[in-house]
Amino acid sequence: MSQVRRPGRDRWRAGAPAGAVRGRPRRSGDHTAPERRRILAAVAVVSAVVAVALGALGALTDLERSTVDARFELRGTDRDRIGPVPIAVVGIDDRTLRRVGERFPFSRRFHARVLDRLREAGARAVAYDVEFTEQTTTADDNALIEAVAAVPRIVLAGFATDDRGDTAVLGGAELQREIGVRVGHVGVVLDGDGVLRRFAAVTARLTGFPVAVAERATGRRVDRSRFDDDGEALVDWVGGDRAIPTYSFSDVMDGAVAASRLRGRIVVVGATAPSLKDVRSTPMDGGAPLSGPEIQANAIATVLRGVPLRESAWPLGLLLTALAAVGPALAARRGRSFGTLLAAAAGTAVLLGIAWVAFLLDRVVPVAEPLVALGLGTLGAVAAGSAFEAGERRRTREIFARFVSHDVVDDVLAHTDAEVRLGGVRVDATILFCDLRGSTALLEDLEPERGIAVLNRFLGAMGDCVDGHGGTLVGYRGDGLMAVFGAPLEQPDHADRAVACAREMAGPALDRCHALLRADGVERELRLGVGLASGPVMAGNVGSERRMEYTAIGDAANVSARLEGLTKDHGRAILVAAGTVERLPDATGLQPLGPVALRGRVGTVEVWAAG
């Protein structure tokens, strides 16, 4: 709009510039910020408490286990984790069962022959994962006993124990001591989902098989403090199937395996044939079954390395849970929902990164509780943020709508995400200027309070007309107003709307205004002048980045302002420029006044009177 300023009319800028719009609606920095912070803090606390409670109740146990399994899978096979003493597996496989021609358990003379081969090859220690508790033939039993006694460092498998932790392996504890053999408990520790992730240092008063083998091979006692309060520890898996060198029992028995492949190694002997069903699910290979000897070999390697894989202390998990719950709340204090989600994604990546780096450093950091806290915190923060944003937008709309039309408010709020900017768009529109006639004399005769009441009645009634016909009330200018039809919302019939609005202003709206004033005790006859002009204008925001207002600028704005001023000279309430008449489908009721010269404008304008 070109701000027309007529001589002696300093009231153009009286009062607040109604179209003024700040660069952004007030957000979390206003009086709602403390409330926002309190609610987000409550969301963070509740998220952390719920996550910890779910963990304490065991609801997150399976999720946590799956995250540990994923870490093992991601790490894959790592043969460097075998430890200071190399390990090999000799498996009783299907080929062995065909070779010996007997059903398992087959004759003990075959076991004796394998033990002899391992002793001759120079195995450092033998871990025999086969339980010899029942008597067979005297010859076979003696052959096995002699072979066992000849191996300097050997551990046999045991399971059933008495009150003292003794077993019936090879006839009992007395013979075991006589021939210098040690027995280790081969019982396994299965989690609730049936997956083997741990092993025990002692079971039923008998040293666990991996611990007994490690102690026999190294000649040193394993530090029991490396195990948790339940006497258990996580298996630090070397890998899955065949991660540890494996040879067929029958090949070793027949001397088909070179001695160099067994020399100096701890050799674990046991059933690997699937038909023998000595298999368990593990975190490796996607949970595919792994044979008992390979599981024992992984556990032995874990003990040889000092049981390095430790679960972090509970305070660290609690701290991570608290931080994960607080993160989304902090992001939501100033950001929008997308920013909160982005922060949550970054928080998830950081949490998983911490867990992975810690795992590489032999520490298992809890992930399930922090992830749940992060998820709950994000949902809560997004919900709270959305509620606050909706409330802020509603309050902003209510405040703005007092000064500009709802269309302008909606257009401004639609751009707040990308910053309200200066500038506008070229549109074809109709500009309306309305002014109260004789207001100076009227206000001089009234007390200031009554005078303001009169102006408010008049401007309120005229503004309602603009809204009722779909126009945009750009602003009040003292005792007048400016409106735009056709912007910011495109209206093909903007000229029709503007003319209809002007006629209502000069007729029914003015009558309603008189009635309201008479009810207030003001017996005054109000008169108005309305100018209308149509054409291309630039409609948008003008001003500065700190303070701006929505308006329309162009020749049509200048012409309409001049016509409004000429209404008193022609004794007509409404003057309409030719451009508006050309856009009307029906000009009935308009009276041509001919060409009119306008101050400050070259040439003349064809003008019609509408009332």
Instruction: Write down the domain spans for the chain.
Output: 10-19+404-609, 33-62+312-400, 84-304
DSSP 134-189: S---HHHHHHHHHHHHHSSSEEEEE----TTS---GGG-HHHHHHHT-EEEE---E
State yes or no: pLDDT of 400 exceeds 60: no
Q: Report the percentage of the chain scoring pLDDT > 90.
A: 62
In three-state secondary structure terms, 580 is helix
**Token duo for residue 468:** 């009722």
H helix runs in 238-291, sequence order: 249-253
Model pLDDT, residue 11: 31
State yes or no: pLDDT of 212 exceeds 60: yes
State yes or no: pLDDT of 91 exceeds 50: yes
State yes or no: pLDDT of 22 exceeds 70: no
Cross-strand pairs, 472: 484
Residue 221 in contact with residue 215, Cβ under 8 Å? Answer: yes
User: Pairing between strand 182-185 and 154-158?
Assistant: parallel
Summarised one tens digit per residue, pLDDT across range 465-493 is 998 998 988 888 878 999 999 988 889 99
What integer is the mean pLDDT of 580-587? 92
CATH top-level class of 10-19+404-609: alpha beta
State yes or no: pLDDT of 28 exceeds 50: no
Q: How confident is the model at residue 306 (pLDDT cuts 50, 70, 90)?
A: very high
Q: Using N-to-C axis directions, what is the helix angle for 448-468 and 494-504, rounded to 10°?
A: 140
State yes or no: pLDDT of 386 exceeds 90: no
Q: How confident is the model at residue 410 (pLDDT cuts 50, 70, 90)?
A: low
Cross-strand pairs, 610: none
Model pLDDT, residue 383: 86
Residue 487 in contact with residue 552, Cβ under 8 Å? Answer: yes
What integer is the mean pLDDT of 566-583? 92
What is the pTM for the complete model shown? 0.66
Q: How confident is the model at residue 175 (pLDDT cuts 50, 70, 90)?
A: very high
Residue 185 and residue 181: Cα distance in Å, rounded? 14
Residue 68 and residue 81: Cα distance in Å, rounded? 17
Residue 388 and residue 398: Cα distance in Å, rounded? 15
Neighbours of 125 (CB within 10 A): 25
Burial grade of 485 (CB within 10 A; 0-12, 13-18, 19 or more): buried
Residue 443 and residue 454: Cα distance in Å, rounded? 9
User: Pairing between strand 289-291 and 279-281?
Assistant: antiparallel
Residue whose entry in the numeric block shows the structure tokens 């871990």: 127
Residue 212 in contact with residue 202, Cβ under 8 Å? Answer: no
What integer is the mean pLDDT of 97-111? 93
What integer is the mean pLDDT of 439-444? 71
> Which of 567, 554, 547 shows the shortest CA–CA distance to 486?
554
Residue 129 in contact with residue 104, Cβ under 8 Å? Answer: no
Q: In which element (H, E) is residue 232 found?
A: strand 232-234
> Which of 251, 202, 238 shows the shortest CA–CA distance to 222?
202
Q: Which residues of 181-219 are buried (b: 16+ CB within 10 A; e: fewer)?
A: bbbbbbbbbeeeeebbbbbbbbbeebbbbbbbbbbbbbe
What integer is the mean pLDDT of 601-607? 88
Range in 1-15, 59-73, 444-458, 510-524 the model is least confident about: 1-15
State yes or no: pLDDT of 423 exceeds 70: no
Residue 373 in contact with residue 324, Cβ under 8 Å? Answer: yes
What integer is the mean pLDDT of 525-553? 84
Return the ∠ at Cα 284 (arms to 278 and 286), rounded to 5°: 100
Overall residue count recorded for the chain in this entry: 611
State yes or no: pLDDT of 446 exceeds 80: no
Q: How confident is the model at residue 4 (pLDDT cuts 50, 70, 90)?
A: very low
Summarised one tens digit per residue, pLDDT across range 232-243 is 999 999 999 999
What integer is the mean pLDDT of 29-39? 69
- The dihedral built from the CA positions of residue 398, 399, 402 and 403, taken in this order, carries a sign that is negative
Q: Which residue has the higher pLDDT, 458 or 149?
A: 149
H helix runs in 197-291, sequence order: 209-218, 249-253
Residue 456 in contact with residue 481, Cβ under 8 Å? Answer: no
Residue 351 in contact with residue 320, Cβ under 8 Å? Answer: yes
Residue whose entry in the numeric block shows the structure tokens 């751009």: 415
What integer is the mean pLDDT of 74-96? 92
State yes or no: pLDDT of 156 exceeds 70: yes
In three-state secondary structure terms, 246 is strand
